[in-house]
Structure 1
Amino acid sequence: MKIVIIGGTGLIGSKTAERLRKQGHEVIAAAPNTGVNTITGEGLAEALKAAEVVIDLANSPSFEDKAVLEFFRVSGGNLMAAAKQAGVKHHVALSIVGADRLPDSGYLRAKVAQEKIVRESGIPYTILRSTQFLEFLGGIAQAGTVGDTTRLSTGNLQPIASDDVADFVAQAALAAPANGIIEIAGPERARLCDFVARYLKAIGDSRAVVADPDAQYFGTRLEDGSLVSDDKPRLGRIDFERWFATAPRK
């Protein structure tokens, strides 16, 4: 089966492609650096010829509110139009748990807009909503750091390893379209500030972590359940300790 992965050279895309190829599928890793651009349309129709499944893992190069919304609207619109023209039978999109609960976040508003395009396309689909990746803990820490102090939200986090995400994406691509949302999450849940403190301690970083219920998380305030799923999510197998033991060090 021919499967096209938009964003196929990124973190999740490359791992998903590897899994699907090992199962004997023809996989096209589509990205601007491979000649496929969902914003300009370059190479899109050619890449989708005879494809049965499209996996959309594309991400905006800018997280500024207007730019990210424009990216997902244009990219999503172009992709769905080309997929319909090519007769694609299943569209899989990766989104974020809590996207519809945090309207103050421009990025999450853009993901909601992307989901709407997918739902209204007329193409059978599966939307996978994932919790935050364990690989993002360092970036979350940096975003909350001023000087030697990292001030972070007390909202809950249930981060998932990218390897587990790739497994779930590959499984969704080979399954029948859900025509709905499937949520995925890591096996451990704790306060965001506590997860980051655990990460910083593990890497030997001496920054002090301050737990602050009002601390902004990329422009929005979190409630306890903002970024976690209580809707019977599919759980990954990799906990923090297992992930950290094998995670590449920069």
Structure 2
Amino acid sequence: MTMIITVLGAAGTIGSRLAEQLEERGHEVRRASRRTGVDARTGVGLREALGGADVVVDCLNLEALRAATARAFFEGTAQHVVRTVRQEGVGRIVCVSIAGAADPAVNRLMGYYQGKAAQEQVYASSGERVTIIHSTQWFELMDDVVRRASIGPVSVLPTMTMAALSARRAAAHIADEIEDSTDDPHSRTLTVRGPEVATTREIARAILSSRGSIGGRRPRVLWQLPYLGRGMADGGLVPADGIVDELTLVQWLADDEG
């Protein structure tokens, strides 16, 4: 069934890939972002973006370290979305979130994760038909992690044990869920993860070895320290179950998806 699907945050990593996936499958996609005049923070443009839509997908993102800033953003945007969904009669909300975001052992030092946990709570308690998708980290995020953690030839990475996957494959699984559950009247939560468990440094080393650089850097020394907390370092980001994607890091590098 062809649907009208509004993707909020369509200019971001996962939003843009999801929009492409849905368009390739024949759906009408409304790419909503501040670039297209839609600001979920204030609600400007939301009614136009959601009017007549079958599904709205929240892929919004905010770079925020402070928990108060992140919570205010994600709670506020989710509240605007819920209000507009009711006004416009949108049938379903899909929220793309992060595996482990609501775990206090994981989010204690990560304001962004606390914000995502607050976002999930707004949607889960809204009474609307909601699917919350917990995605593990994407290989593509390592560019930014290394860039931020590097000084000269040395990178001191946060120790994060992850079951990472390709952003493109994550988008494909999200698109599958949007299509497969169109007739399901219930709200649900699911998780998407990669096939392997590895640390930040192990993933960065593999990318650096394959490509010669990572995040525009060529570090000669890769260290890692648990400065984002033991919850992340000890596997709090790795889901115990969920949809397991088959594409390994080595295969992703060989396919040059990034």
Same fold per superposition (TM over 0.5): yes
Identity across matched positions, percent: 30
**Inter-partner Cα distance in structure 2 for 1:20 and 1:58:** 17
- The 8 Å contact of residues 125 and 180 in structure 1, kept in 2 or not, is answered as yes
**Inter-partner Cα distance in structure 2 for 1:155 and 1:65:** 19
Residue 247 of structure 2 corresponds to residue 245 of structure 1: no
Residue 122 of structure 2 corresponds to residue 117 of structure 1: yes
- The 8 Å contact of residues 155 and 191 in structure 1, kept in 2 or not, is answered as yes
SS at match of 1:122: coil
Root mean square deviation of aligned Cα = 2.0
**Counterpart pick for 2:220 among 207, 213, 217:** 207
**Counterpart pick for 1:188 among 175, 188, 196:** 196
Query: What is the CA-CA distance between 1:10 and the residue it aligns to?
Result: 2.2
Match for residue 187 of structure 2? Answer: 179
Matches within 5 A, 1:1-250: 1-101=3-103, 102-104=106-108, 105-176=110-181, 179-204=187-212, 205-212=218-225, 215-217=226-228, 220-221=229-230, 222-230=232-240, 232-247=241-256
- The 8 Å contact of residues 140 and 196 in structure 1, kept in 2 or not, is answered as no
Q: Give per-residue Cα distances to partners, 1:154-197, cap 9 Å, x unaligned.
A: 54211110111110111121232562321111122122221222
**Inter-partner Cα distance in structure 1 for 2:257 and 2:179:** 29
Aligned length: 244
Residues 26 and 206 of structure 1, relative CA distance in 2, 3 Å threshold: closer
Structure 1: where are the runs of 5+ without partners?
none
Query: What is the CA-CA distance between 1:117 and the residue it aligns to?
Result: 0.5
Query: What is the CA-CA distance between 1:66 and the residue it aligns to?
Result: 2.5
Query: What is the CA-CA distance between 1:28 and the residue it aligns to?
Result: 0.6
**Inter-partner Cα distance in structure 2 for 1:18 and 1:210:** 36
Q: Give per-residue Cα distances to partners, 1:4-60, cap 9 Å, x unaligned.
A: 111123222222122222222211111111111111211111111111111000112
Query: What is the CA-CA distance between 1:206 and the residue it aligns to?
Result: 4.1
**Inter-partner Cα distance in structure 2 for 1:127 and 1:136:** 21
Which 10-residue stretch deviates more, 53-62 or 197-206?
197-206
- The 8 Å contact of residues 131 and 160 in structure 1, kept in 2 or not, is answered as yes
Q: What code does the residue aligned with 2:168 have?
A: D
**Inter-partner Cα distance in structure 2 for 1:39 and 1:186:** 31
- The 8 Å contact of residues 5 and 27 in structure 2, kept in 1 or not, is answered as yes
Residues 247 and 94 of structure 1, relative CA distance in 2, 3 Å threshold: same
**Inter-partner Cα distance in structure 2 for 1:111 and 1:40:** 18
**Inter-partner Cα distance in structure 2 for 1:62 and 1:171:** 30
Structure 2: where are the runs of 5+ without partners?
213-217
- The 8 Å contact of residues 193 and 210 in structure 1, kept in 2 or not, is answered as yes
- The 8 Å contact of residues 185 and 233 in structure 1, kept in 2 or not, is answered as yes
Q: Report the TM-score when normalising by structure 2.
A: 0.87
